[in-house]
Amino acid sequence: MTDKPLVAITGASSGIGEATARAFSAAGHPVLLMARRINRMEAMSLPRSMCRQVDVRDREQISRSVAEAEAEFGPVDMMFANAGIARLADIGRQPPEEWDEMIDINTKGVMNTVHAVMNSMMERKTGTLVMMSSIAGRKVYPDHTVYCGTKFFVHAVSESLREYLADYGVRVLVVSPGVIETEVLTGVLDEETKAAYKQNKVKIGGGIGADIVGDLILNAYQLPQNALVQEICLTPTRQKY
């Protein structure tokens, strides 16, 4: 058991997941990094870290990884359900297989991630769940139909979990970013939608660095356990919607 408790992060190989892992590691926490690209996580070479190749659609992979990390570092005190994918496209021409992928990863994957740690947090009467949503979980956008649906799901589930876990002293924080400098566009296979997204990004002067989001999550986590930032909604200043 280390002085600071274990933090676990899915989708830790890039973007906000990577930035959050770096922020918590620099603050002295052991970190469990989970994602499909294990080489990217291992290349970070974070001290007191454990890297596991995980597809969040596989509930057992997450649970097994958590158990292995907890055996070395103690209980997970914060789980960041960050893994997600954005297959943005005009709903009229989008292949249904892309809907399936977003629903499975962005909704079922989030629930699988929560499931791996929730009961332990309830038993210990402490812990923090950080749920990755999006500003697209608060309002709808063109070419975001199913993606918005998955992020509205995260908001709804998080609100319910927050109420349910309040009596156990477990915090639920939703992260709802706007345009961030991440690899999100690699998930967009529709060229017309990708071009429109890039055009809008240029128009607003680019996205915010993922490190800013990681630092905000760390700051919110470091509040006393009886203080909760329920949601972080962060956008570039010039992002109007």
Taken in order 97, 113, 216, 32, the sign of the CA dihedral is negative
Buried b (16+ CB within 10 A) or exposed e, 123-152: eeebbbbbbbbbbbbbeeeebbbbbbbbbb
In the residue annotation, 241 being an active-site residue is answered as: no
Which of 7, 11, 9 has the alpha carbon at shortest distance from 182? 11
Q: Is 238 exposed, middle or buried (0-12, 13-18, 19+ CB in 10 A)?
A: exposed
CA separation for the pair 113, 74 (Å, rounded): 18
Catalytic residue of the set 141, 147, 164, 197: 147
Count CB-CB contacts under 10 A for residue 210.
Answer: 22
Active-site residues: which are they? 147
